[in-house]
Amino acid sequence: MILGLKKMIGDVKRLHPRPPSVAAGFARGLVQLAARQGADPAVLAQRAGLAPAVIEDQDARLPLQTYVALMRAAQTLTGDPAFALRFGEAFDIEDLSIVGLLGRACATWEDAFTQLTRYSQLIIDVPVDDPKGRRLVVEREGSRMWVVDTRSDPNAFPELTESSFARSAAAVHRRRSGIDAVAEIHVTHKAPAYAAEYERVFELPVVFESGRNAMLMKGDAFPEVLNAKPSRYVFGILSARAEALLGELDAAATTRGRVESAIMPVLHTGEANMGAVAASLALSRQTLARRLKSEGTTFERLLDELRHRLALAYLGDRKVSVHQCAYLTGFSDPAAFSRAFKRWTGASPRTFLGRRV
């Protein structure tokens, strides 16, 4: 597993401009399903190195390696090796991501697929083999049409293939939507010990060790009507939000963005120091300092600003106490957090909370 993870993220600089990441809505849904199957959410988060407050914002980003650890911990704690299939079966895409909502606001399935292709990075942002950077592509072979997942090295984390395809083509989703457009499921990984669960979840032929991860469609075109009365107003609002999120994701290609992504999963542990972060990015401290300086900041300033933003978000939502907020933002001493908060805002955390009532 460790070798697979290293292979999946080791060539990020060469293959992908940003650290691989997943929308936090998927992690939140995963935790909810695991809890329903008997897993303790606190133990699950601890095993994955996840700060629970991070997944409160559905549009926030989670490092891919944290999501992988979360999925594997869920399999262990629920005793269910087919957990990823059940996760895809349990949630529609609109339950987890703005991209699903945007698709539902489209008039046709083809329009929805266009939006999914454009904003797929908001779901999961990973290296792909498609030269145009698309994760999902349509390939036609005569009268046959395939929807192909071009994710690089998919067998390092086949659970992502399982959950993605189950979310798109599970029998329960077909019955709910009334659309029965998929003929076969093809996956590149070997048949697992729980292959019988594929039969139950999909009720479709599944080809293991195929040359591609893909869905073979029943016709040579997408079904026509998705939404007989689409709302252009809703579509416009969702599009604007998706564009803003895409802009934020692009910012992660900067050194600052990469550093923030590296800090987030370890901030609550108190290990967000420059040496550890530089090592996680395969940089020396001197190189990291130089790159941050070229972007007009320093590690200390960046860390301080990140803590400031997170503290305002945590306390502003009134979902955590002052002590919990201090822990989540990496302060071992609540008094030190209070001093920092007063420096940021001119008020103590408790005074700030009082004003929000």
Confidence of residue 1 (pLDDT cuts 50, 70, 90): very low
pLDDT digits (tens, 9 = 90+) for 275-294: 999 998 888 999 999 999 98
How many Å from the N-terminal Cα to the C-terminal Cα in the chain?
48
Lowest mean pLDDT among 126-130, 232-236, 266-270, 349-353: 266-270
- Position 17 scores a pLDDT of 53
Q: What is the mean pLDDT of residues 48-75?
A: 90
Q: What mean pLDDT, rounded, does the chain reach?
A: 87
| Tokens of residue 338, six digits | 């209070």
Confidence of residue 317 (pLDDT cuts 50, 70, 90): low
- Position 2 scores a pLDDT of 35
Query: Please, how many CA atoms are within 13 Å of residue 26, restricted to the half-sphere of its CB?
Result: 28
Closest CA to 64 of 17, 29, 26, 13: 26
Report whether 298 contacts 289 (CB < 8 A): yes
Confidence of residue 225 (pLDDT cuts 50, 70, 90): low
Tell me the whole-structure pTM to 2 decimals.
0.70
Lowest mean pLDDT among 42-56, 60-74, 196-210: 42-56
3-state secondary structure the chain: CHHHHHHHHCCHHHHCCCCCEEEHHHHHHHHHHHHHCCCCHHHHHHHHCCCHHHHHCCCCEEEHHHHHHHHHHHHHHHCCCCHHHHHHHHCCHHHCCHHHHHHHCCCEHHHHHHHHHHHHHHCEECCECCCCCCCEEEEEECCEEEEEECECCHHHCHHHHHHHHHHHHCHHHHHHHCCCCEEEEECCCCCCCCHHHHHHHHCCCEECCCCCEEEEECCCCCCCECCCCCCHHHHHHHHHHHHHHHHHHHHCCCHHHHHHHHHHHHHHHCCCCHHHHHHHCCCCHHHHHHHHHHCCCCHHHHHHHHHHHHHHHHHHCCCCCHHHHHHHCCCCCHHHHHHHHHHHHCCCHHHHHHHHC
Query: Phi/psi class of residue 147: alpha, beta or left (left: φ > 0; alpha: ψ in -120 to 50)?
Result: beta
State yes or no: pLDDT of 164 exceeds 60: yes
Percentage of the chain modeled with pLDDT above 70: 93
Edge-first strand listing for the sheet containing 61-63: 61-63, 21-23, 124-125
State yes or no: pLDDT of 10 exceeds 50: no
Q: What is the mean pLDDT of residues 233-249?
A: 89
Strands 21-23, 136-141: pairing kind: unpaired
Of 51 and 194, which is predicted with more confidence? 194
- CB within 8 Å of 140: residues ≥ 6 apart: 146, 220
State yes or no: pLDDT of 213 exceeds 50: yes
How far apart (Å, rounded) are the C-alpha atoms in residues 107 and 15? 35
Q: What is the mean pLDDT of residues 257-281?
A: 86
Given the structure tokens 């601890």, which residue do they identify?
46
How far apart (Å, rounded) are the C-alpha atoms in residues 342 and 10? 40
- Position 12 scores a pLDDT of 33
Confidence of residue 320 (pLDDT cuts 50, 70, 90): confident
| Tokens of residue 225, six digits | 């009507």
Q: What is the mean pLDDT of residues 204-231?
A: 87
- Position 13 scores a pLDDT of 34
Confidence of residue 348 (pLDDT cuts 50, 70, 90): very high
